[in-house]
Every structure is written in C-alpha cells, then in structure tokens.
A = this chain, B = another copy of it.
Amino acid sequence: MAIRIGIVGLGKIARDQHVPVIEASPDFTLAAVASRSGGLPDLPYYSDIGDMLAGDDGLDAVALCQPPQVRYDAARAAILAGKHVFLEKPPGATLSEVKSLADLAQAHGVTLFASWHSRYASGVAAAKAWLAERTIRSVAVEWKEDVRVWHPGQAWIWEPGGLGVFDPGINAMSIVTHIMPRPFFLLDGTLSFPENRGAPIAADLTFRDDSGVPITAAFDWRQTGPQTWDISVDTVDGALVLSKGGSVLTIAGELQETAPEAEYRGLYDRFAGLVARGESDVDVSPLRHVADAYLRGARVVVEPFED
C-alpha cells in the first residue's frame, strides 16, 4: 500500500525533485500540496499545512520543502497529527529545534527523516566502502559555485538562519561525514560575510579527525566560469576523488563506473524503508559542523553582494 504524502512548500526543489520522484515511486502517492505560491493540477491544494492536516486526503506523511527558518512549526504540527515527516536539508534553522523534533517524533511513534540528498550521489556509496579499508592521509574539499546561477533572488538564503554559502557547503559536509571512517571536528576557520548580508558568501575551514588526519574545506559562492564540487581524499593506496557533487568517482587515477544520478530517488527509497520499519533517521552532524564553524570561526567582512 503506497504512502500517501503531501508536499509543503512548492518551491524550486519541490518542483524539480520531490514531485517527479514521488510520482515515479511505487512506494508513494502524491496526495496534496500546501504552499503559498499555488498548487499542482488535479491535486488538493491548501495555502498552509494547518489546513492540509485538517483536510480529508488520508495523508500518511508530509515532505517539508520550505526554507529552514519556518520548518519547525510545520514539522511539529505534522508529528502531532500522526504523520511521518521528511525534512529537506538543512533539517532546521537551529540544532536545538531538530533535537526537539526528534524527541517529539519518537514520543509520537512516527518517522522523522532528516534528508541529505548528496549522500545519495552516485559515487558516494562506493567511495565510503573503499575508504573504510584505507589509511587516510588528508582530505581537501572544494565547493565553489556561482550563487547568481544557483540561487537567483533567494532572499531567505542570505538571512540569518539561511546559511549562505553553507547551503551548498552543507552538501559537502553531508558527504564527508558519511564517507569518513572516523569522527572529525573544526579546529579553525574564517567566514566571509558581505557587508550587506546576514550569511557568509565564503568559508575556509580546517578540521581534524580524531586520529589527527587534516581536513580542509573551501566554500565559495563567487565562482564564475567552471564550477567545482570536489572532495579529494589522499590515502596510502592513492587518491580518491569525488567530483561533480559526488556523482563522479575516481580512485588512484581510474574513473569508476557509477549509476545515473538518482539522489532524490535514493532519499525516497530510504524514507519508505524507515516508515516500513518504524524508524527515524535524524543525523544532524552536517548541521552541527556548520554551527561549529559559526561558533568557532573568525569572521571577516567583505564587499557587498548584490543579486
């Protein structure tokens, strides 16, 4: 029996990924939409999640795709209504609210899934398996893109809680936390805030894992020309490179065969499995590293950014 799911927040990511993936999945039936900005043909439409939860669409679950600053109230309402909840990344605007939601979901016996789509990029699973057996010397992350191309006019992303360059950077962190065999933490960092913005446009971070392996990360939203989403891991058996956001895997100079891109299908397969087993998956480690960067990093002011 398919899981009847409602989408909340019909923005770019919902239209590009959630809707087509849900519609193609045998595990789910798209049953309703709640959004301020209009619905989809032939589907019940609500202007907010409260009305959707009060409707009679027989919903089992909701996928929350709004900006993180407003996601907590929706998630809480859905959990209290007994629905399973899929959270787009990042799972919230604060770590404490996500902790609170995780406890609430457990108390109410529903599934809460904090999704990290980049972990389902097609090279990631093989990278994780290969690194599990290796001695790692160092890791370098380079995540540099043109914000004007990828986030045109998205004001919320520049507000406090919108994460700025960490919005893509947290994708890198979600991969690194997934593939590294040992825990790591920030030693030092610099966050660059445009003079007129509440979120950083660039960040340079130095981490170390608990056996001393150095990890550096360079995030930048001012990249024009070629875009870079690379994670390079130097090991005693040669270099592993995940490029193009995790979709291309090279080991010791040899390109590995990988499946076609299917990040959101991976997420929805995972969500269906969690619901079937009555489990939750709320790994906050990528967001915790970002919070640590704000807490521990130095901040510098750079030139104003205009869209």
Is B183 within 8 A of A94, CB to CB?
no
A185 within 8 A of B: yes
Is B296 within 8 A of A94, CB to CB?
yes
A44 within 8 A of B: no
Q: Which of A18-26, A97-105, A109-117, A131-139 contacts B (4 or more CB under 8 A)?
A: A97-105
Residues of B within 8 A of A74 (CB): none
What's the least CB distance linking A95 to chain B, in Å?
A: 5
A194 within 8 A of B: no
| Interchain residue pairs with CB less than 8 A apart (22) | A93-B296, A94-B185, A94-B295, A95-B95, A95-B288, A95-B291, A96-B185, A96-B186, A96-B285, A96-B288, A96-B292, A99-B183, A99-B185, A99-B288, A100-B184, A104-B210, A160-B298, A161-B295, A291-B294, A291-B295, A294-B295, A299-B299
Query: A272-307 CB contact bits vs B (8 Å, 1 = yes)?
Result: 000000000000010011111011111100000000
**A96 closest partner in B (C-beta):** B185
What's the least CB distance linking A152 to chain B, in Å?
A: 23
A72 within 8 A of B: yes
A76 within 8 A of B: yes
A266 within 8 A of B: no
**A193 closest partner in B (C-beta):** B299
7 tightest A-B CB contacts, nearest first:
A96-B185, A94-B292, A97-B185, A294-B294, A291-B291, A100-B183, A291-B295
A181 within 8 A of B: no
What's the least CB distance linking A197 to chain B, in Å?
A: 11
Residues of B within 8 A of A214 (CB): none
Chain A, range 180-206, C-beta contacts under 8 Å to B? 183-186, 193, 198
Once the chains are docked, how many angstroms separate the CA of A96 from the CA of B283?
A: 12
Chain A, range 27-80, C-beta contacts under 8 Å to B? 72, 76
* Residue among A94, A103, A295, A297 with max Cβ neighbours from chain B (10 Å): A295
Is A290 within 8 A of B298, CB to CB?
no
Residues of B within 8 A of A93 (CB): 186, 295-296
Residues of B within 8 A of A104 (CB): 210
* Residue among A193, A288, A291, A299 with max Cβ neighbours from chain B (10 Å): A291
